[in-house]
Structure 1
Amino acid sequence: MSTMQSRTPWQVTRSVWHAMFMREAVSRTMADRMGWFWMIFEPVALITIMIVVRTQIRGANKLIANAEFIPWMIVGMMGFFLVREGLSRSQGAINSAQALFAYRQVHPVDTVIVRSYLDGMLRTVVLVIFIIGGVSLSMHMFPDNALFALFSWISIWLLALGFALIISVSSKLVPESGKIVSMLSLPLMIISGVILPINNLPHSALEYLMLNPIVHALELLRLGFFENYHVVAGTSMLYLWLWILTLNSVGLLMHIRYKDRLKAK
């Protein structure tokens, strides 16, 4: 007589994540026929606008601290958009899976982790498309230090996850906080050095801007793509990872503390 083998907690969690990933992936890629178009068109449109503006201001000089302007901006935007996904899409992650909480194996934190993983995968595909397109147009888009660039990209991914874990809880418990986060998207893009370099700003201003971990993340990513790139003074991988570990730890603790309230409708 055969006995049914019980699954380990990890096997159960992995099955839950796989099922939720497939559900989310189908919803994101199939429900909206224009989804892929907007993911590629948005950075292209912003880059085009900034090229026109910069050309009018500074003429043909498009070098930024030993990096071509267009690749420099593409890399920065791709990194920032990955963080922005964690800030924006995490707000509806728990509500979108409310019906699934009827199954005791599914927890609110699972929805955030799966959505962050999918966002990262999609943004990685878009980045690869831009790299291939840039190389085919004879632009310096292939990373000089591929391993460092990959590690920096994963670091940004984990930073986005940390933001997502915290914001998913705060926006569920205090809905008004989600609106505030949405309003911060454009200011964050400006002060993070995404579209304009911050190297030339006064030291007094840089002291405050360098408290922003996104600046460190984007500068390190650019360093992986352009080996001679002059990063902003004070850029630190250690500082970035202290933020990553702190955000993810606080976010997980918040999910544990408020798990029952997050499951409630």
Structure 2
Amino acid sequence: MPDVNSNTSGARTPWQVTRSVWYAMFMREAISRTMADRMGWFWMIAEPLAFTLIMVAIRSFISGDRLIVGADFIPWMITGLMGFFLIREGMMRGLGAVDANSALFAYRQVQPVDPVLVRNALEGLLRTFIFLLFIVGALMLGMDMAPDDAIAAMGWWLSLWSLGLGLGLITSVAGTLVPEVATVVRMISMPLLILSGVIFPLNQLPHWLLEYLMYNPIVHGLELLRAGFFDGYKVVYGTSATYFWIFTLITVALGLLMHVRFKEKLKAK
């Protein structure tokens, strides 16, 4: 009598199927992102580099480095830019993830949430690699970019990626079902860059204005990331890891629930 516990049929478990789907989609996205466009790598590096050079030029007029306690201006800004781009790209990559992979939904193993998860995983890896390049480049130029608390810095880098994932899950559903949402998301990208304390310190703003800006979870995440890099850095008053993670977990949960609720509509698009 054959052993009933043995898998004689060769059928794979649901987890094995899902893993195979993710791997295939990951390789497809990786090739598309890195090889389809010859300028792809250039723009991923040139965008934050251009922002940094522009802000360094502006700094000479506003003396921005004097407004930051416990960190040099250029490393402080690079850290903020890298963290912000990680969140922004996670949110933006979710917009076209469902439509770009709609043909794959003919296979029942592929769900609309899969391309969103895969795109965010790939974006996280690419952004991490680019951040490491900036750190190495800054160290070679004599700047203090090595994190003083590497564990905290890595933890908050992953935390920012989690927030980008949650936002990407939400925008992937909302942007597919209501195309106008994609336009709004793209429009708020630049204001978010300014309002999140990426290119200038928020401590110098009036208290009444700062109270409203602290509702933005990106501010909390970037400040705590910077605290991991610069030991003596004074974070913006009101920065809270608890608030950041409550918002992030709610965002991820809401995004997953939206995918469950509108799965059939997303497949039919």
**Aligning the two structures, in what range does the TM-score lie when normalised by the shorter sequence?**
over 0.9
Segments of 5+ residues of structure 2 without an aligned counterpart are none
Aligned residue number for residue 38 of structure 2: 33
Overall identity of the aligned pairs, in %: 60
Shift of 1:3: 2.6
Q: C-alpha distance in 2, partners of 1:6/1:242?
A: 40
Aligned residue number for residue 74 of structure 1: 78
Give 3-state SS (helix, strand or coil) of 1:91's partner.
coil
Q: Over the residues paired in the alignment, what is the CA RMSD in angstroms?
A: 1.3
Aligned residues: 264
Amino acid at match of 1:74: I
Aligned residue number for residue 125 of structure 1: 129
State how 1:71-220 maps to structure 2 within 5 Å. Answer: 71-220=75-224
Q: Deviations over 1:20-72 (max 9, x none)?
A: 0000000000001111111111111111111111112228x556111000000
Aligned residue number for residue 57 of structure 2: 52
Amino acid at match of 1:174: V
Shift of 1:7: 1.4
Aligned residue number for residue 18 of structure 1: 23
Shift of 1:84: 0.7
Q: Does 1:228 align with 2:232?
A: yes
Q: C-alpha distance in 2, partners of 1:52/1:20?
A: 42
Runs of 4+ in structure 1 deviating by more than 6 angstroms, as ranges, are none
Amino acid at match of 2:179: P
Amino acid at match of 1:215: V
Structure 2 length-normalised TM: 0.96
Quick one: which of 223, 237, 256 aligns to 2:260?
256
Amino acid at match of 1:42: E
Shift of 1:4: 2.1
Change (3 A) 1:139 1:77: same
Q: Does 1:9 align with 2:14?
A: yes
Shift of 1:10: 1.1
Structure 1 length-normalised TM: 0.97
Amino acid at match of 2:88: R
Amino acid at match of 1:256: V
